[in-house]
């Protein structure tokens, strides 16, 4: 309800807003004291707006976190990835219902996608991100499932953590895979596969079921290496 500059009485004014009015001694009417309006906004409205903004920010991060884990994000990259794509998730209200809109890369227009209304969904954004930065996801990488990554595209965890945030993001876009330092040393000393040779790490092989192991070795011709 808008505030009127002059009120015959304060019966139609919310009690918490009474302090904004001053009674005129001659007319007996109440006049809005604009000098107190700014301080009222700072004291009562601004904190609410800040809390709402913080709530929206937390909700956006939580929504992205759930979607990323569903897509198989490597937990080491979760915070970095959320920081890079969260601005593309706009949370608003339409017809008293919460609506999530995915913005295009420039953040100017809603992204077109697979939603029932023709707009992009959160899954569309995550799918696009997984294709752009595949090495950040456990289930989507440049190498096939169980195959040995290219040692030229590998960074040890300690080397990765020494990089600046922008440099880390660049490495991910370039398709680098992050490995623990011990694994990185093994990979660096491992000879490159011969042309056409299929190689699988011992760690990946041990995670397979007995049937899957047999298929990899006997049917697909994979060689297991440490």
- HEC readout, 50-70: HHHHHHHHHHHHHHHHHHHHH
- Start-to-end C-alpha separation, the chain: 71
Q: Which domain holds residue 96?
A: 50-136
Residue 196: per-residue pLDDT = 75
Which among 84, 113, 136 is the end of a domain? 136
State the Cα torsion 155-159-165-171 to the nearest 10°: -20
Q: Are residues 85 and 157 in the same domain?
A: no
| Rounded-to-integer distance, Cα 222 and Cα 213, Å | 9
For residue 21, tell me if it sits in a domain.
Answer: no
Question: Three-class SS of residue 113?
Answer: coil
For residue 10, tell me if it sits in a domain.
Answer: no
Q: Tally the domains of the chain.
A: 2
pLDDT digits (tens, 9 = 90+) for 42-81: 666 667 677 777 788 888 888 899 889 888 888 888 888 8
Q: Is the pTM of this model over 0.75?
A: no
Q: What is the mean pLDDT of residues 2-30?
A: 85
pLDDT band, very low/low/confident/very high, at 6 (cuts 50, 70, 90): confident
Percent of the chain with pLDDT over 90: 5
Q: Are residues 191 and 150 in the same domain?
A: yes
pLDDT digits (tens, 9 = 90+) for 197-215: 787 777 777 777 777 777 7
Q: Are residues 154 and 187 in the same domain?
A: yes
Q: Are residues 148 and 186 in the same domain?
A: yes
pLDDT band, very low/low/confident/very high, at 146 (cuts 50, 70, 90): very low
Which among 77, 110, 136 is the end of a domain? 136
| 150 compared with 159, residue with greater pLDDT | 159
For residue 106, tell me if it sits in a domain.
Answer: yes
Q: Which helix (H) or strand (E) holds 213?
A: helix 210-214
Contact 158/164 with Cβ under 8 angstroms? no
For residue 16, tell me if it sits in a domain.
Answer: no
Q: Are residues 111 and 150 in the same domain?
A: no
For residue 88, tell me if it sits in a domain.
Answer: yes
For residue 41, tell me if it sits in a domain.
Answer: no
Q: Are residues 153 and 215 in the same domain?
A: yes
Q: Are residues 149 and 198 in the same domain?
A: yes
Residue 5: per-residue pLDDT = 76
């Amino acid at each position: 309800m808008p505030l009127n500059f002059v009120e015959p009485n304060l019966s139609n004014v919310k009690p918490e807003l009474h302090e904004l009015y001053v009674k005129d001694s001659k007319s007996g009417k109440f006049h809005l004291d604009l000098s107190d309006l700014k301080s009222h906004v700072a004291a009562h409205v601004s904190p609410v707006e800040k809390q709402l903004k913080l709530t929206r920010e937390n909700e956006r991060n939580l929504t992205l976190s759930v979607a990323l884990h569903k897509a198989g994000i490597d937990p080491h990259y979760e915070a970095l990835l959320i920081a890079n794509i969260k601005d593309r998730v706009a949370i608003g209200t339409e017809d008293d219902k919460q609506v999530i809109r995915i913005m295009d890369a420039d953040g100017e227009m809603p992204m077109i996608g697979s939603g029932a209304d023709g707009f992009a969904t959160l899954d569309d954004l995550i799918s696009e991100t997984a294709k752009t930065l595949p090495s950040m996801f456990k289930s989507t990488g440049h190498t096939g499932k169980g195959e040995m990554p290219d040692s030229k595209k590998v960074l040890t965890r300690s080397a990765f953590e020494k990089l600046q945030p922008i440099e880390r993001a660049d490495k991910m876009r370039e398709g680098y895979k992050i490995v623990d330092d011990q694994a990185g040393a093994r990979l660096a000393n491992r000879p490159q596969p011969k042309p056409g040779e299929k190689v699988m790490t011992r760690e990946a092989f041990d995670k397979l079921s007995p049937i899957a192991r047999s298929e990899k070795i006997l049917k697909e011709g994979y060689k297991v290496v440490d």
